[in-house]
Structure 1
Amino acid sequence: MPDRPPLENTLDALRAEVGAGGTTRDAWLAFTRFGRRRFETTPTPDSDGLLFQYGTYAFSGRPMFTVDLTQQFDVSDDDGEHAHYAQVHCELRFGPAPDLDALGSFDSWFFHDADEDLEEWFAAMADRLGPLLLDRTPCETDLYEETV
């Protein structure tokens, strides 16, 4: 797939899209641009997926409402076998708020090569964010990658 950039460039590409931050809407629009890009992956239905999830978690020791926008890639070894997944995250964290806690938790996956409609998925996830989150500014934004 010569027209697709290598996976090593994903975090830099996400950082370039998200920029200096802003509202949830800004991060969401950046993630949709990033999520439309295709990178060099194995040509299987689950090799390039987008994950949208939110909920109140205490990962850093204090409860925060977190919106996690993730792209996951299947990484194969030299024999073409699954080795691990690489995930690139845009995490938006908000201080405790009853209206956010009331949203509970939610997650949804989209896979590029699974014959689903990306624009429909993006629209449905934007609806999940709704005005309650889209116009809110997170108190923390973290862009990172990890191996899972």
Structure 2
Amino acid sequence: MISVENAESYFKNKIGKDSDDIRKVWERFKDSCKETVQGEEEKENLFQCGVYDFTGEELFHLDFVRQFTVYEEDKYSRMEQLHCEFLFKPTDELNMLETAERSMDFDDVDDFFNHIENLQEFKIPLTLKPIKLEIYQNEV
């Protein structure tokens, strides 16, 4: 069973060697968002993108996020986020794209995914080659 603690390694294994194919990674990300994770009380997904210099270099970040809210003994413990983040060299077109969308703003997760797939912020990067994919999990 998937747990919050092993979600990152589970997702990395699920992606496998298709890490340069954004569409395939997105499809696997969507599937994994529907899977039950032991220890997770609330499901939340995010889609965010924009040009940032988090790494010391300005890059376009296309980030699919699964957020885990964890309770221990019926008390809030922590929130963790699993990021599936593609990085690109900025272009004039990418410099104009920035958004942050949350699944909790939609009736169900499929409505959220359909909304994301119709955004220019999602469609435009699909036509480009990313520099790399970073998959990591952190506490927020």
Q: Report the TM range for the smaller structure's normalisation.
A: 0.7 to 0.9
In structure 2, runs of 5+ residues without a counterpart are none
After TM superposition, give the deviation of residue 54 of structure 1 in Å.
0.4
**What TM-score, normalized by structure 2, do the two folds share?**
0.87
Question: Identity over the aligned pairs, expressed in percent?
Answer: 23
Matched length: 137
* From 2, 12, 31, the counterpart of 1:5: 2
Map 1:12-23 onto structure 2 (within 5 A).
12-20=9-17, 21-23=19-21
Q: RMSD between aligned alpha carbons? A: 1.9
4+ residue runs over 4 A deviation = none
Q: Which has the higher contact order (CA 8 A, sep 6+)?
A: 1
The 3 A distance-change label for structure 1 pair 73 and 119 is same
Looking at structure 1, the residues matched to 49 and 30 of structure 2 have their Cα atoms a distance apart, in angstroms, of: 16
Map 1:1-148 onto structure 2 (within 5 A).
5-20=2-17, 21-41=19-39, 43=41, 47-77=42-72, 79-103=73-97, 105-111=98-104, 116-128=107-119, 129-130=122-123, 132-148=124-140
Looking at structure 2, the residues matched to 19 and 97 of structure 1 have their Cα atoms a distance apart, in angstroms, of: 28
**What TM-score, normalized by structure 1, do the two folds share?**
0.83
Once the two structures are superposed, residues 68-127 of structure 1 have per-residue CA deviations (whole angstroms, 9 ceiling, x without a partner) of 1111111123x3211111111111000021111112x1011114xx98222121111111
